[in-house]
């Protein structure tokens, strides 16, 4: 995707997500689960809406993503809000982090919000997150429903919620852009899991699962939000 197109898409997601209560609820859940942690890795941070919330809560945040555009916008926001002294951003592949920059057992908390389906090698990805988590540290992972029809129902629900807003006309074009983006992304989703399957994968790589629940971003108790400790 051309850089401008990519920036427009990130902006559209931002305009929609920051007005969508179920998304903000998911962000709050990640923040809550990471409550005891001081230094946090956000893996696949995108535009960094969660990272910024963690910074507002006094955390030290290292945000990584394959793409730098969203991270640049996160850094700008953090600078504007005087939160950048506790933020580091890295363009990196979360499946293979450099040992020098991301040493073993470094982070109190590691968060992966809505990234897992985009990862081909789930086990490798989870092992890398296990490696960088401190003993006693927390890992939080969330993702969409296993059944694609449930994702379609959620999209309809998000549209209804947004249409009820007084400012819907202002964001209608962003919502159209997001729907288009989700449709395109559907072709790139490698792994869709039930919450029980994710819990098993997280346990298999060494974590102890503490809580397995639905993802508040999705309709009808679908999707997953799994919290584990090392
Ligand atoms: C659906 S977005 C979610 C962004 C953000 N976590 C959120 O919930 O708003 C998935 C993000 O994961 C990133 N991503 C995908 N594969 C990755 C990888 N191997 N390493 C790091 N980031 C990755 C994408 O670039 C994208 O920004």
Q: Is the CB of 94 under 6 A from ligand 1?
A: yes
DSSP state of 116: G
Distance CA 157, CA 22 (A): 10
Distance CA 12, CA 126 (A): 29
Report which of 76, 80, 75 is spatially closest to residue 64, judged by C-alpha positions: 75
| Cα 94 to middle of ligand 1, angstroms | 9
Q: Is the CB of 115 under 6 A from ligand 1?
A: yes
Ramachandran category for residue 162: left, alpha or beta (phi over 0 → left; psi -120 to 50 → alpha): alpha
Report whether pLDDT(15) > 90.
yes
| Cα 110 to middle of ligand 1, angstroms | 14
Report whether pLDDT(221) > 90.
no
Mean pLDDT for the chain overall: 95
Looking at 136-167, list the stretches that DSSP marks H as alpha helix, in order from N- to C-terminal side: 148-163
Q: What is the pLDDT of residue 6?
A: 83
Q: What is the pLDDT of residue 1?
A: 55
Mean pLDDT calculated for residue range 124-138: 98
Q: What would the two tokens of residue 222 be?
A: 């679908």
Residue 62's domain comprises: 3-229
Q: Is the CB of 114 under 6 A from ligand 1?
A: yes
Total tally of structural domains belonging to the chain: 1
Domain CATH for 63: 3.40.50.150
Q: Choose the residue to mutate in 111, 118, 124, 183 for probing ligand 1, maximizing ligand atoms within 8 Å of C-beta.
A: 118
Atom of ligand 1 nearest to the CA of 112: 6
Q: What is the pLDDT of residue 110?
A: 98
Q: What is the pLDDT of residue 96?
A: 94
| Cα 166 to middle of ligand 1, angstroms | 30
Mean pLDDT calculated for residue range 86-105: 97
| Cα 122 to middle of ligand 1, angstroms | 13
* pTM, 2 dp: 0.96
């Amino acid at each position: 995707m051309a850089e401008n197109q990519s920036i427009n898409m990130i902006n559209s997601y931002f305009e929609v997500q920051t007005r969508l209560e179920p998304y903000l609820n998911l962000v709050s859940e990640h923040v809550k689960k990471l409550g005891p942690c001081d230094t946090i890795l956000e893996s696949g941070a995108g535009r960094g809406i969660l990272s910024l919330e963690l910074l507002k809560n006094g955390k030290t945040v290292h945000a990584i993503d394959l793409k730098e555009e969203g991270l640049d916008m996160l850094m700008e926001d953090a600078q504007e809000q005087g939160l950048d002294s506790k933020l580091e951003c890295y363009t990196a592949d979360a499946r293979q982090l450099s040992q020098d920059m991301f040493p073993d057992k470094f982070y109190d908390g590691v968060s992966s919000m809505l990234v897992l389906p985009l990862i081909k090698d789930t086990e490798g990805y989870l092992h890398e997150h296990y490696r960088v988590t401190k003993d006693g540290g927390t890992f939080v992972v969330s993702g969409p429903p296993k059944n694609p029809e449930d994702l379609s129902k959620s999209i309809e629900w998000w549209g209804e919620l947004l249409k009820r807003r007084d400012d819907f006309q202002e964001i209608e074009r962003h919502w159209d852009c997001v729907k288009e983006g989700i449709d395109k992304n559907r072709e790139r989703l490698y792994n869709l899991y039930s919450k029980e399957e994710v819990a098993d994968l997280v346990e298999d790589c060494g974590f102890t699962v503490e809580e397995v629940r639905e993802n508040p971003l999705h309709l009808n108790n679908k999707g997953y939000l799994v919290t584990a400790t090392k």
